[in-house]
Amino acid sequence: MLKAQDWWRGSVTYQIYPRSFMDSNGDGIGDLKGITARLDHVASLGVDAIWLSPIFTSPMKDMGYDVSDYTDIDPSFGTMEDFDALIEKAHGLGLKVIIDQVISHASDQHEFFIESRSSRDNPKADWFVWANPKPDGTPPNNWQAIFGGPGWEWDARRKQYYLHNFLREQPDWNLHNPEVQDYLLGTMRFWLERGVDGFRLDTVNFYFHDKHLRDNPANFLPWGMDAFRPYDMQYCLFSKNQPENLAFVERIRALMDEFDARTTVGEVGDSHHSIELMGQYTSGKRLHMAYSFEMLGPNFSPDHFRSRIEEFFRKAPGGWPCWAFSNHDVPRHVGRWLPHAQDSAALAKQAAAMLLAFRGSICLYQGEELGQTDTDLQFHELTDPEGINFWPDHKGRDGCRTPMVWEASAPNAGFSQANATWLPVKPPQAARAVDTQGAPDSVLNFYRQMLALRKSEADLNEGAMTFLDLPDPILGFTRGEGLVCLYNLSADEAACDMAQTLAPLVSQGVTLEKDKITFGANGFVIARKTAA
């Protein structure tokens, strides 16, 4: 059994997007009191922890990922007292609390950036990344911003450019400056002393930039030149993934180790070396876990899932992954993978049975347990700068961020009493509300069943994972010495030979014969091996 210090290894974390979880005061925006009021639902699932997307003071240009005060709560979410009450309630329910820590960049309204941009010789002058223009006035290099346009913004007061990997309102900290590192670590200590159990580290491989500001080369991947944003047309060799990053991550780990039973999960995003980076960032005394992007895309094949998991544990035998199928930045997986299914509820259950049987830690995104789908939004309903900038070819992230649905017939499906909410609740989403899922065969009850199975079966937490050579579209693997997990990743009937006698623990649409298993569309079985 795992020691209490290592509770995170094999854990299941439930991601809460605070603006969209529950509104307690009728202003149309979710808040901390609302989260606290609904924590019983989260605890009833059987998860180990919650992850709160950013709740710090922010102008909300990027929905809290632009922080103007790292040690206070944004008024739209409540007060520090509300946060303390949330921590107390969560801990009382046996839930750990992980908060989003965004330290690669700040808001341009942060007091230190306001000071930094005021002159070239103030005490915070080099706390952000400043560079002179080229002789012709253009930016110092070709780095692009993720939300479109150059990664540099001209500032007339300093007559220099500052770096921003995201919005121009999100200037990058200069972590080459040790004082900046000390300041950011101090803000993390503040929350650890407040009782948080860990951090989800946003864009953890973006912390350092190349000091020489060398141009990024072109993206050599086939899809690079077909990308909808210029950022993806570059191989970001110099704008992120710098060696200094790992030394700073070790400083973060040293801070975490001063406290009992705390954890870190780093968002390691890269289109070229993501598995290798996940290994680097979780080896030795670095991060506890790396959050993977590998399963957040359209690929839904046995080979894809097998290759990602096998490659991680081959290349990073001492590291630890955190797998997810959905989050606040990508279309929900039920919609992404629906072409491989006949029925969305059957697909949602299969996805849960698969994800919650993987070796590693797991992250679920709010509403996933309802089989939720993306909301189809019109341009005037958008708030996400990515969607606004790249419409209509890319509609951004708002579709997966719409409010959680609690009671199908209540105003705004029970999320809020407001006349209008920050993003709308529409009928297709309301139809999947919590109060509609009381039937034993609902998606919600299946998630509870799978989470209970993961907790009760030691092999699903600690057992080795060995893949089976089975015909496409069947994915199969064993966990430990006792469990076999089989999935038909298609909308058509499929079958495979299986000499082992199995005793099903959970299944959907399967027929077990003497030497053969037949699967219906998105059929699966998790079974215990028995004597022949």
Angstrom distance (rounded) from CA 331 to CA 162: 32
- The domain locations on the chain are 4-105+192-451, 464-529
Torsion of CA 460, 463, 465, 469, to 10 degrees: -90
Question: For 99-109, how does the pLDDT look when each residue is reduced to its tens digit (9 = 90+)?
Answer: 999 999 999 99
Give the global pTM. 0.97
Q: Residue 456 in contact with residue 483, Cβ under 8 Å?
A: no
Residue 85 has pLDDT above 70, yes or no: yes
Q: With CA atoms as reference, report the closest residue to 358 among 463, 506, 441, 223.
A: 463
Question: For 116-164, how does the pLDDT look when each residue is reduced to its tens digit (9 = 90+)?
Answer: 999 999 999 999 999 999 999 999 999 999 999 999 999 999 999 999 9
Q: Please tell me the predicted confidence (pLDDT) of residue 91.
A: 98
Question: For 38-56, how does the pLDDT look when each residue is reduced to its tens digit (9 = 90+)?
Answer: 999 999 999 999 999 999 9
The CATH architecture one would assign to domain 4-105+192-451 is Alpha-Beta Barrel (3.20)
Q: Please tell me the predicted confidence (pLDDT) of residue 242.
A: 96
Half-sphere exposure for 210 (CA within 13 Å, toward CB): 15
Instruction: Count CB-CB contacts under 10 A for residue 464.
Output: 12
Q: Report the residue count for the chain.
A: 532
Q: Residue 394 in contact with residue 387, Cβ under 8 Å?
A: yes
Angstrom distance (rounded) from CA 485 to CA 470: 12
Q: Please tell me the predicted confidence (pLDDT) of residue 223.
A: 59
Angstrom distance (rounded) from CA 417 to CA 422: 12
Question: For 454-471, how does the pLDDT look when each residue is reduced to its tens digit (9 = 90+)?
Answer: 999 999 988 999 999 999
Same fold, 4-105+192-451 and 464-529: no
Instruction: Count CB-CB contacts under 10 A for residue 149.
Output: 16
Instruction: Count CB-CB contacts under 10 A for residue 252.
Output: 24
Terminal Cα-to-Cα distance of the chain (whole angstroms): 29
Mean pLDDT of the chain: 96
Q: Please tell me the predicted confidence (pLDDT) of residue 196.
A: 98
Average pLDDT over residues 84-113: 98
Query: Residues of the chain with pLDDT > 90: what percent?
Result: 92
Six-digit token pair at 5? 């210090």
Residue 2 has pLDDT above 80, yes or no: no
Six-digit token pair at 173? 């900290």
CA distances to 56, 386, 387 from 62, rounded to whole Å, are 12, 9, 12
Count helices and strands in the chain by DSSP H and E runs = 14, 19
Hey, is 421 helix, strand or coil?
coil
Angstrom distance (rounded) from CA 36 to CA 34: 5
Average pLDDT over residues 514-520: 92
Q: Please tell me the predicted confidence (pLDDT) of residue 227.
A: 76
Residue 493 has pLDDT above 60, yes or no: yes
- Strand 474-479 relative to strand 465-467: parallel, antiparallel, unpaired? antiparallel
Residues identified as active-site: 202, 258
Residue 225 has pLDDT above 60, yes or no: no
Question: For 299-323, how does the pLDDT look when each residue is reduced to its tens digit (9 = 90+)?
Answer: 999 999 999 999 999 988 889 999 9
Residue 97 has pLDDT above 70, yes or no: yes
Angstrom distance (rounded) from CA 308 to CA 295: 8
Which of these CATH numbers, 2.60.40.1930, 3.40.50.2000, 3.90.850.10, 2.60.40.1180, describes 464-529?
2.60.40.1180
Query: Residues of the chain with pLDDT > 70: what percent?
Result: 98
Q: With CA atoms as reference, report the closest residue to 432 among 298, 332, 299, 330.
A: 332
CA distances to 50, 235, 270, 363 from 47, rounded to whole Å, are 8, 37, 28, 9
**Confidence class for position 1, pLDDT limits 50, 70, 90:** very low
- Residue 86 — left, alpha, or beta (φ > 0 → left; ψ -120 to 50 → alpha)? alpha
- C-alpha angle with apex 51: 194 to 475, nearest 5 degrees? 150
Q: With CA atoms as reference, report the closest residue to 47 among 16, 12, 17, 15.
A: 12
Hey, is 415 helix, strand or coil?
coil
Instruction: Count CB-CB contacts under 10 A for residue 394.
Output: 12
Instruction: Show the beta-strand stretches assigned E in 135-234.
Output: 152-155, 160-163, 198-201
